[in-house]
Amino acid sequence: MILTGGLKSLLPHVLRRVIRCNRLGISSTSGMAEGYKQANVVILHKSLADDFEKFCHANEGPLPLLHRSKPGDWKCPSLSSDSDIRTDCLQYRIYEHGTCTGLVKSLKEYSEQLKDMVTFYLGCSFSFEKALQNAGIPIRNIEQKCNVSMYKTAVPCYSVSTFCCNLVVTMRPVPESKLEAAVLATSELKEAHGAPIHIGDPGLLGIQDLSKPDYGDPVHLHHGDIPVFWACGVTGVEAVINCRAPLSFTHSPGCMFITDIKNNNVTVGSSRQAPQVHCISQDPLHYSIVSAEAAQKIRTLETLIGTDPGDRGIIHLCHQDELLKACLSMSHARSVLITTGFPTHFTYEPPEENDGPPGALAIAAILQALEKEVAIVTDQRAMNLNKKIIEEAVQLGILKKPVPLLSYQRQNADSALMFLCEHGNPGRPRFDHLVAIERAGMAADGNYYNARKVNIKHLVDPIDELFLAAQSIPGVTTTGVGDGGNELGMGKVKDAVKKHIKNGDVIACDVEADFTVVAGVSNWGGYAIACALYILSTCEIHDRYLRKAVGFPQLLKKMVWLSALPSVTKEEKLLKALVQHGVRSGKTASLEMEVDGLPFYNTHSLMIEKLL
């Protein structure tokens, strides 16, 4: 029996010879032949080979194809010098009509059947373990002398003919301080599954219990470790099971074929394409990935909208990357609820100002283009006005279809929970992100104030309660967009509002959002969110992470997304429509082409052009 200690330094051809002789008392090739590529193995009848190859190309994250053999070819000269696929894996699985009927250490007795079968060699995450170690990242399963943990997920792969299954992933615990290093170390190793497809709570992938992997061994997390998930080639095993072929073979998970091909020290092409990791939720814990280039573009948007034309002192409310994190969270969302409406002009009918609705519609338009569910909630007394505004937005080409319009009234202590979740069940939220833009926010005394300290509570429905309830619903995040500190969501920066904003000690909103987007004019914040979501959607690194490295890039929809962005022409027409409906400028109550006392032409129009 050969001891395992020196296996990591043995050359691949020596290891294959040892495996062939059945002289290893181990159950996994993790940590062996450091720096060399390892491969998952799927062996199918030649009649299925073309469809399986298409399935691999359609799901390149879990199934990076290293080599496809000819029927009956047991050797693989492009990957190894003297190999025999019948004997060179530690263990094989035999599948008949989708059922595993045996585990064997050699396939030689099936040599006759193998003459009509094709072998697929697929990339494996064991290949990037050395890269992780070189980045100072511990490999916990090697430390714990066990196989890596592998889990079936609820994420469907792109189906091809009879090949359909859900994604399988490996999990490696990574110290939180090393998350970005782990992504960077693996992102360019495409033939070893590339960057992670999920970082954080396993429940978001449909994995219920990390201590019970579907394949491999449980790996224990150290204090401060975060579970990081990579696409896994055992996805191919699940595809074999589901296609129910009369006879097929795979490696046993963890028992890889070791190639003679070295993992080249691949570096990211440019610092602009380097991936960044950002935490977007604490409950459940969830991180997202974006390229440095896309992140910087969004920071530029944040700087642009942070200019303070009204000299209110909003610079003291701004915190870097709030726009980025808010939009990353929205990018992952399935369904978004938007609220707007600030009835500052209490002596007029309608009392609404024209800052807010245009920004809300800009956000709704890009969310529609991204094929997300979106709805708007507003005051009951303003339902007819908002219905007309939405209809106008469709006619003007701002929205591709009407947005559902809702109202919220408090009837009992559970009203907010019943509104946000199916049957009031926090485990089944209807929305996973709430956005308030230029929405009157409740102050510490329970009242609602305009910038001049006038209490307008009688005109405002308690939509704040939805944001307060969202704080206790796992998976629901919130964003507040404002320009003066009295808007819903600005409670996150209320201390700065009280200190630096005129009348801030009275008017400051007390209700927090997870993310606060501060802008010189709130509409600008809405435009910036729309542009940032477009930037994220066209970022290849983020797109891959969103789709979990299965299926195809969504970039072909780029023109649809582009057409949904705000434009000077669209916003000019919308502002004219608002004026016709009697919706006034916030600061002056003017029914002219202005917002917050600033002229549309040469101020708002210039901002839109800069953001685009």
User: Over the chain, what is the mean pLDDT?
Assistant: 93
CATH number of the domain located at residue range(s) 12-124+237-262 in this protein: 3.40.1640.10
Mean per-residue pLDDT for 136-164? 95
Residue 236's pLDDT band (boundaries 50, 70, 90)?
A: very high
DSSP E strands, 405-493: 405-407, 433-439, 477-482
Helix spans in 489-551 (H): 494-500, 504-507, 522-537, 540-546
Amino acid at site 414: D
Residue 32's pLDDT band (boundaries 50, 70, 90)?
A: confident
pLDDT at 554 over 90: no
DSSP E strands, 292-428: 335-341, 373-378, 405-407
Domain at 275-550, CATH class: alpha beta
pLDDT at 1 over 50: no
Start-end of CATH 3.90.1640.20 domains in the chain: 275-550
Calculate what percentage of the chain has a pLDDT beyond 70.
Answer: 97
pLDDT at 518 over 90: yes
DSSP E strands, 7-111: 36-45, 65-68, 92-96, 99-104
* Residue range 299-340, pLDDT digits in tens: 999 999 999 998 889 999 999 999 999 999 999 999 999 999
Name the residue among 305, 237, 330 with its Cα closest to residue 521: 305
Mean per-residue pLDDT for 131-137? 93
* Residue range 449-507, pLDDT digits in tens: 999 999 999 999 999 999 999 999 999 999 999 999 999 999 999 999 999 999 999 99
Q: What is the DSSP code (8-state) at residue 601?
A: I
Query: What pLDDT score was predicted for residue 269?
Result: 54
Q: Write the CA distances from 154 to 151, 269, 426, 492, 548, integer angstroms.
A: 10, 33, 20, 35, 11
pLDDT at 268 over 80: no
**373-378 and 335-341 as β-strands: parallel, antiparallel, unpaired?**
parallel
* Burial group, residue 347, by CB count within 10 angstroms (0-12, 13-18, 19+): exposed
> In this structure, what token pair is assigned to residue 308?
């303070």
pTM of the full structure: 0.94
Residue 555's pLDDT band (boundaries 50, 70, 90)?
A: confident
pLDDT at 3 over 50: no
Query: What pLDDT score was predicted for residue 178?
Result: 97
Start-end of CATH 3.40.1640.10 domains in the chain: 12-124+237-262
Calculate what percentage of the chain has a pLDDT beyond 90.
Answer: 84
Query: Of 23-32, 282-291, 361-370, 417-426, where does mean pLDDT reach its minimum?
Result: 23-32
